[in-house]
Amino acid sequence: MGFLYDVNAAWNFGQRQFLNARFSPYLVVGAGGLTSEIRDGSAAFVNGGGTATGPAHVLHDRDTFFDG
């Protein structure tokens, strides 16, 4: 079992005129984590699905993996 949590924030700086077109700049930041609870095993292998090319992670009971 795993506990997944995520926090994000977005800020819109308002609408601007740029090269005769409307432009709306914004900033988005976020961080998330996964905490494992492995009851009947020693570890869990965590890897992204689909086209994920990041590194794989081995989590043991109560390990936490952060991504930001």
Kindly provide the residue ranges of all beta strands, DSSP E only, lying in 1-68, ordered along the sequence. Answer: 2-12, 16-18, 21-23, 26-36, 44-46, 57-59, 64-67
pLDDT at 33: 82
Q: How many residues belong to the chain? A: 68
The ranges assigned to domains in the chain are 2-67
Q: Residue ranges of the chain with pLDDT lower than 50? A: none
- 23-36: pLDDT as tens digits: 888 899 998 887 87
pTM for the whole thing?
0.48
What CA–CA distance (Å, rounded) separates 50 from 10?
A: 27
